[in-house]
């Protein structure tokens, strides 16, 4: 493993090729309409297979995913989306509800065996758990969106939904808490608006 | 633009090639020691040039970056890192302090011109602004970490630092708030531990 990574990341190697940069970053767009082309469960599982390797604090991986891709599942989800997000969600062959597991630390002894005391420390500190989920949930959501694109699919992330309603409908035991809903599929007709501007790097970057 | 993306994301196209998946996700590792190989400012700027295209809520892009790569900059930063993070940060040719701009909505009229009322709405609602930065800051941090890897560099993200101290030292006007510190460079000697396990997908994924 070590030698493979070293050879990939060695000085002089330019990193991701132009097609990969275009696919994940520079040419990728958020889709608002989807084609009928189906997306199989194995393609959805493959998105997670990429996502899960990217790093999280103390390797604790709090993000959880519900893939909604049946008519019944979509019927449960649609009324809980904001009105402006319903038509596009109805047109997507699959939609991921991203959530955080409020008891993610249950897995700490397996995920970080070098710190066996971590599970009890987190068990006793709900505020620290909340800090960790509120940071690492969105962090992993960022990985997840790029992993959708890495599968040759388009992503349509949406913050406009009834989170309490989704949690009550999909996670009635109260343990998982929804944080983002993401449509997944292939672009349909007129799938995106004109691209919106990005900040001038001079307003974002400082040097020290 | 549209036709380019459609051809990239068309059905049947498998997405990112195996080398790209390895570079960004499956073979990439968090580095704990860095080689002397320098990282130029243009390489650091190129990380942001990829990061900035990935999506954010209402296109508001609250993440900010300070690239620390001079001896003076490192001297200011090192005492503010947790002790266990100091040696590796000292060995990295560059370190990014990722922060959120608490007044990110200043740019709303330019970034989302179709909703001209958004800036005033956010100006009046500090709690909504905090919700947006706490979600989109880590989301963009996820993009940033993968963009480092896309440049053929390795990332060493660290949550262990004195955030109040960094904010006082680097952002004394109180507007930017640090959220993550990330070492950037090429792997040094024994750069990583044995890889830690990932959750079983059966514990992460549900189907509906």
* B197 neighbourhood in chain A, CB within 8 Å: 59, 110-111
Q: For residue range B125-153, what is the model confidence (pLDDT) as tens digits?
A: 999 999 999 999 999 999 999 999 999 99
The answer, yes or no, to whether residue B84 has pLDDT greater than 80, is: yes
Residue B193: what pLDDT?
86
Per-residue pLDDT at A13 exceeds 70? no
Mean pLDDT of B165-190: 97
Q: Is residue A10 predicted with pLDDT exceeding 70?
A: no
**Residue B14 — very low, low, confident or very high, per pLDDT cuts 50/70/90?**
confident
What is the C-alpha radius of gyration for chain B, rounded to an integer number of angstroms? Answer: 19
Q: Is the pLDDT of residue A164 over 60?
A: yes
Whether pLDDT at B71 is above 70: yes
Nearest C-alpha of chain A: how many angstroms from B122?
16
Is the whole-model pTM more than 0.80?
yes
Min Cα separation A84/chain B (Å): 13
Domain ranges of chain B: 29-185
Q: What is the mean pLDDT of chain B?
A: 93
CATH class of the domain whose range is A29-185? alpha beta
Once rounded to an integer, what is the mean pLDDT over residues B180-197? 95
CB B19 within 8 A of CB A8: yes
| Interface contact flag, A134 B139, Cβ < 8 Å | no
Nearest to B16 among A4, A23, A57 (CB): A23
Task: Please provide the DSSP assignment of chain A as one string.
Answer: -HHHHHHHT-TT---S-HHHHIIIIIS----SSB-S----HHHHHHHHHHHTTS--GGG---EEEEEE-SHHHHHHHGGGB-HHHHHHHHH-SEEEEEEEETTGGGGHHHH-TT-TTHHHHHHT-HHHHHHHHHHHHHHHHHHHHHHHHHTT-EEEEE--B-HHHHHHHH-TTS-EEEEEEEEEE-B-SS--PSPPP---HHHHEEE-
Interchain pair A112, B196: CB under 8 A: yes
**Residue B34 C-alpha, separation from nearest chain A C-alpha, in angstroms:** 12
Complex prediction ipTM: 0.94
Q: What is the mean pLDDT of residues B167-178?
A: 98
Q: Is the pLDDT of residue B22 over 70?
A: yes
Q: Are A67 and B206 in contact (CB under 8 A)?
A: yes
Q: What is the pLDDT of residue B3?
A: 32
Question: Is A20 in Cβ contact with B150 (below 8 Å)?
Answer: yes
């Amino acid at each position: 493993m070590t030698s493979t990574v070293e050879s990939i990341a060695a000085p002089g190697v330019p990193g991701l090729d132009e097609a990969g940069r275009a696919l994940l970053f520079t040419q990728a767009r958020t889709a608002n309409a989807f084609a009928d082309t189906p997306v199989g469960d194995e393609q959805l599982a493959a998105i997670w297979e990429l996502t899960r390797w990217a790093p999280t604090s103390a390797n604790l991986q709090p993000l959880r995913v519900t893939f909604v891709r049946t008519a019944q599942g979509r019927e449960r989800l649609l009324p809980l989306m904001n009105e402006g997000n319903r038509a596009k969600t109805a047109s997507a062959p699959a939609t991921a509800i991203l959530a955080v597991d409020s008891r993610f630390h249950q897995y700490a002894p397996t995920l970080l065996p070098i710190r066996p005391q971590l599970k009890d420390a987190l068990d006793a500190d709900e505020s620290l758990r909340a800090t960790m989920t509120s940071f690492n949930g969105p962090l992993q959501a960022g990985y997840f969106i790029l992993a959708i694109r890495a599968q040759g699919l388009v992503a349509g992330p949406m913050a406009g939904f009834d989170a309490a309603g989704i949690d009550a409908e999909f996670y009635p035991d109260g343990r998982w808490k929804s944080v983002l809903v993401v449509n997944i599929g292939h672009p349909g007709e007129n799938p995106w608006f004109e691209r919106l501007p990005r900040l001038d790097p001079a307003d974002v970057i400082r040097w020290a």
